[in-house]
Amino acid sequence: MKINKYIDHTLLKADASKEQIKVLCEEAITYDFASVCVNSYWVETCKKLLKGSDVKVCTVVGFPLGAMSTKAKAFEARQAVLDGADELDMVINIGALKAGDNAAVQSDIEAVIEAAQGACVKVILETCLLSKAEIVRGCEICADTKADFVKTSTGFSTAGATKADVLLMKEAVKSRCKVKAAGGISTYEDMMTMIQAGADRIGTSKGVALISQK
């Protein structure tokens, strides 16, 4: 796969403007990125702006804390798909995972997958808040639910993706789902490190700069 198709071109800032979203979509078309990743308010706008291209619309669910009710996450996912989202990046129930409540974590993910109606679902673990054992357990739960991806980070917590975490996640899912690395990936070298470690997708707000450094 071409390097540009690894990239989810991301703008999740609270103060993002329509003009910035327009630029994001124009850049995604120009560089033929995999998707744009935006907050759900912008899904319909992006769907219109990307019409005629193969760039997908990705949005976030339960973002960035993951501590919303399962019903709220499912509603958010369902509405995002109705608005035109092709991919959903949901945040896992981090507290439940750390408490060892695997059933709650799994049912939370399954509710979003069901609401997604076939749209790609990526599950964000927020690895910086987890032990290695918790990362492995989170990955195994995600794989059991048949989520499409496990993802390292929101980019809004204490740290982002690391090579060690990507390697661990790739091993833990055992090819049952893919791995997305996100958070703090700001150079071409960072991106290639993550890809070589096993990342199948890269989330970054610096997609154009990364490709330009190639």
* Residues that are catalytic: 89, 151, 180
- For residue 58, the number of C-alpha atoms closer than 13 Å in the C-beta half-sphere is 30
For 182, list phi and psi in degrees, rounded to 5.
Answer: -150, 155
Tokens of 118: 């076939």
Among the listed residues 119, 117, 137, the one whose alpha carbon sits nearest the alpha carbon of residue 127: 137
Phi, psi of 88 (to 5 degrees): -125, 125
C-alpha closest to that of 115 among 157, 194, 62, 154: 62
Residue 3, exposed/middle/buried by CB under 10 A (0-12, 13-18, 19+)?
middle
With beta carbons less than 8 A apart as the criterion, state whether 147 and 177 touch: yes
